[in-house]
Amino acid sequence: MELCTQLNYVRSLSAGKAYFYHLSKSGEMCPLEIDRTRLRAPKGGYAEAYKGGKFVEKNVAPQDLAYSNPQFIEECYVKPGVDDIYCAFPLRIRANSLTPDTCSDDEVRSKLSLLAKTYEELNGYQELAFRYAKNILLGTWLWRNRECRKLSIEVTTSDSQTLIVENATRLSWYGHWDEASAECLEKLTAYLTRALSDPTEYFYMDVKAKIGVGWGEEVYPSQEFLDDREDGVPTKQLATVELLTGEETVAFHGQKIGAALQSIDDWWHEEADKPLRVNEYGADREYVIARRHVSHGNDFYQLVRNTESWIETMKASQTIPNDVHFIMSVLIKGGLFNCSKAK
């Protein structure tokens, strides 16, 4: 199957912004405010004393490297007296991977729809749901804030089911889950399996983390991307949302939450030791390398070209190859997958 010139899938998982807060003694929501700080940071970068990539020394005086590098940044710290902070976000789930949203070729649409149907019949969505549920209950979406004194995750689904995992920091992607946590994982997996494969209902959930912290401890929300530097404006700015009181509290962008939930691809190698964020070329930011480089033949575009073959394989064996799990995870992520016109 060759890709067509217009092919688009709408993402199936839509996370909203995650907002941080703490509770007053009367139970009212209070913001985690931004702290603007001016620093005298020491110079330590390679380019301060060298140029090029071969350690060519710059003509700098000894005292030049001792001068400070003034910085104006935004940070966030827990107020003294606060033992617990919260971070919460909403998540919408739609069965958008069952068929393309836009497709200029009826044959391509038919084959991709059949791939999804065959995948669903073999209960493939359960495997993906299991992985998304893991990241939700592990609190992977808290990023650096997951390293805390105590962590509990609470999920309330659209069918009024409430799931609570205590001591989430003791759990891991590949490790053992205690009985209570495993039961929550099983229930959330079943819910997400339905949500990813049933287009007739509207599925959503609210996710909340209770984070045990120390007084004055730093909190790590999203940073804003800045195109230009302006005088008097912090060079590091934190993302915020406004509470009903009109006060601003620090936040995560929805994209950062989504990136954590999508970190399920450990199919990129048979000896893979970690799940990557789902990406067409298996981008590994930690090692700055594409784990699914085109030279390996396991990138999304080369795999999805073999859609007919995957369908035949699944129907004949009644099993799902890992490459098909990856293909479907990319379609759940959504995006533009069309090829360019031949010139």
The per-residue pLDDT for range 63-108, each reduced to its tens digit, is 888 888 888 898 999 999 999 999 999 999 999 999 999 999 999 9
121: in domain: yes
42: in domain: no
Per residue of the chain (343 residues), what is the pLDDT tens digit?
Answer: 888 999 999 999 999 999 999 999 999 999 999 999 998 888 888 999 999 888 999 999 888 888 888 888 989 999 999 999 999 999 999 999 999 999 999 999 999 999 999 999 999 999 999 999 999 999 999 999 999 999 999 999 999 999 999 999 999 999 999 999 999 999 999 999 999 999 999 999 999 999 999 999 999 999 998 877 777 788 899 999 999 999 999 999 999 999 999 999 999 999 999 999 999 999 999 999 999 999 999 999 999 999 999 999 999 999 999 999 999 999 999 999 988 765 4
Q: How far apart, in whole angstroms, are the C-alpha atoms of residue 99 and residue 95?
A: 9
Q: How far apart, in whole angstroms, are the C-alpha atoms of residue 324 and residue 343?
A: 31
Q: How far apart, in whole angstroms, are the C-alpha atoms of residue 15 and residue 89?
A: 7
Picking from 206, 21, 199, 177, the residue whose alpha carbon sits closest to that of residue 117 is 199
323: in domain: yes
Which H, E and C letters describe the chain, residue by residue? CCCCCCEEECCCEEECCEEEEEECCCCCEEECCEEEEEEEEECCCHHHCEECCCCEECCCCHHHHHCEEEEEEEEEECCCCCCEEEEEEEEEECCHHHCCCEECCHHHHHHHHHHHHHHHHCCHHHHHHHHHHHHHHHCHHHHHHHCCCEEEEEEEECCCCEEEECCHHHCCCCCCCCHHHHHHHHHHHHHHHHHHHCCCCCEEEEEEEEEECCCCCECCCCECCCCCCCCCCCCECECEEECCCCCEEEEECHHHHHHHHCEEECCCCCCCCCCEECCCCCEECCCCEECCCHHHCCCHHHHHCCHHHHHHHHHHHCCCCHHHHHHHHHHHHCEECCCCCCC
15: in domain: yes
73: in domain: no
184: in domain: yes
19: in domain: yes
Range of the domain at 93: 7-30+80-336
2: in domain: no
* pTM recorded for the entire structure: 0.94
Tens digit of each residue's pLDDT (9 = 90 or more) over 45-61: 899 999 988 899 999 98
- In this structure, the number of other CB atoms found within 10 A of the CB of residue 232 comes to 5
Structurally, the chain folds into a number of domains equal to 1
